[in-house]
Amino acid sequence: MLNFALTAQLRPVLLILLFIGIVALVYGISEMIARNAKVRSRLDVVSDGTRAAQGSGHSLRGERNNSEWKKLVDGIEKMGISLVDTKNDSLRKKLIAAGYGSPEAPKIFTFIRLVLTFVLPALFVTLALSKPEPPSPMKLYFFAVSIAVLGLYLPNLFISAKAARRQEAIVHGFPDALDLMLVCVEAGLGLEAAMDRVGRELALAHPLVSATLGKVVLELRAGRSRADALRRMADEVDVDEIRSFATLLIQSDQLGSSVGQTLRVYAAEMREKRRMRAEEKAHRLPVLLSVPLVACMLPVMIGVLMLPAVVRVVREILPVMTR
């Protein structure tokens, strides 16, 4: 009884100490994250000043992380483990569309897939065997294989989802860029100067479109031809609208037609496509809402409507039938 009373008295004290410890831990982690965010913002500000001279869109932090990943990948390959994918070109295009343009990105992606494929099942098996009653070997094998398959395909799903989000953001913001580019061209600026100006104007509203146009401007200033720079932009973004835009500008440049008229026609066409996509999403809402309505509300409505009749049958008809 005395031990039970002491335990009952110490329990609130232990809970209070545990709460204080958790609060201190959360506060320390938040302070660490805030400090790291400040350092990263300063590094990004410093890198903005040298970005034009270096011709690169990466920050100092990104270059440091890339060098660390490169060292890790090189160390693994020196051990005799090849990280080159058999479909390296298609994988690189997919990674560039997702925003990972580093030359080491395919090897890093393959390394992450290998780690997830082998480490996740090993962790699951270790945790399962450490339990007092481990599962059966058949169940353990089934779950380990399922987790390995999940670890193998999860990076692909992540890259595909990120590439789709980037493409959607670029398609959504590109009509605004075309309108601003048309204004700049009609005001007397050349195509390169118009892209540069529009890219700087859209840095906050549409950062992906701004980065895409900024890269084209840097390639043009580095000496690449306009046709090659536009084709590279279309291949990296991998969006049909941007590919059509690049083809129109290349044909307009080769045939000597008006760039302003080309931009005006294509800007109107892209705005119309954006409006049609918005209308398509709006028309899909009733169909999407019908599933939860039928699954959740219809059974409740049927129950509410049928319950009075069921109660009346139980009260009046069943006693008569049992006589």
Instruction: Tell me whether residue 312 is in a domain.
Output: no
pLDDT tens sequence across 28-41: 787 777 676 666 65
User: What pLDDT score does 39 carry?
Assistant: 60
Has residue 221 got a pLDDT over 50? yes
Taking the C-alpha atoms of residue 218 and residue 227, their distance in angstroms, rounded to an integer, is 14
Residue 225 located in a structural domain: yes
Least confident residue range of 175-189, 199-213, 254-268: 254-268
Question: 199, 213 in Cβ contact below 8 A?
Answer: yes
Name which of 186, 178, 181, 208 is nearest 196 in CA terms: 181
Q: Who's near 73: CB < 8 A, 6+ residues apart?
A: 83, 104, 107, 108, 111
In a domain, 201, yes or no: yes
Q: How many other CB atoms are found less than 10 A from the CB of residue 258?
A: 11
Count of CA atoms in the C-beta half-sphere (13 A) of 236: 19
Is 98 a domain residue?
no
Joined tokens for residue 270: 């892209």
- Alpha-carbon distance 216 to 222, whole Å? 10
What's the CATH code of the domain at 200? 1.20.81
Highest-confidence segment of 2-6, 31-35, 200-204: 200-204
Angle at 94 between CA 91 and CA 97, to 5 degrees: 150
Mean pLDDT of the chain: 78
188 phi-psi bin (left φ>0, alpha ψ -120 to 50, beta other): left
Would 212 be classed as within a structural domain? yes
Tokens matching residue 268: 């109107």
Q: What is the pLDDT of residue 59?
A: 44
Tokens representing 91 are 């994988």
Number of neighbours of residue 277 by Cβ within 10 angstroms: 13
| For the chain, counts of helices (H) and of strands (E) | 12, 0
Q: Considering the domain boundaries, does residue 29 fall inside one?
A: no
In degrees and rounded to multiples of 5, residue 141 shows phi and psi of: -65, -40
Range scoring the smallest mean pLDDT among 185-199, 205-219, 292-306: 292-306
pLDDT at 2: 44
Angle ∠(62,67,73) on CA atoms, nearest 5: 125
- Mean of pLDDT values over 253-275: 82
Q: Is the full-model pTM beyond 0.85?
A: no
Smallest Cα–Cα separation from 47: which of 35, 56, 60?
60
113 token code pair: 């897939």
pLDDT band at residue 237 using 50, 70 and 90 as cut-offs:
confident
Least confident of 48-57, 94-103, 165-174: 48-57
**Does 58 have pLDDT greater than 80?**
no
Give a yes or no: residue 176 inside a domain: yes
Taking 70 as the threshold, does the pLDDT of residue 15 lie above it? no
Token pair in block for residue 317: 């008809």
For residue 216, give its domain range. 168-274
Which of 4-13, 174-183, 311-320 ranks highest by mean pLDDT? 174-183
Given a cut of 70, whether residue 264 has pLDDT beyond it is: yes
Split into its structural domains, the chain has a count of 1
Task: Give the pLDDT confidence score for residue 263 in this predicted structure.
Answer: 83
Question: Does residue 250 fall inside a structural domain?
Answer: yes
Q: What is the pLDDT of residues 115-165, one digit of tens each?
A: 888 888 888 888 888 888 877 878 888 888 888 888 888 888 998 898 889
- Position 136 scores a pLDDT of 80
Q: Please, which pLDDT band fits residue 83 given cuts at 50, 70 and 90?
A: low
Q: What is the pLDDT of residues 65-78, one digit of tens each?
A: 556 767 777 777 77
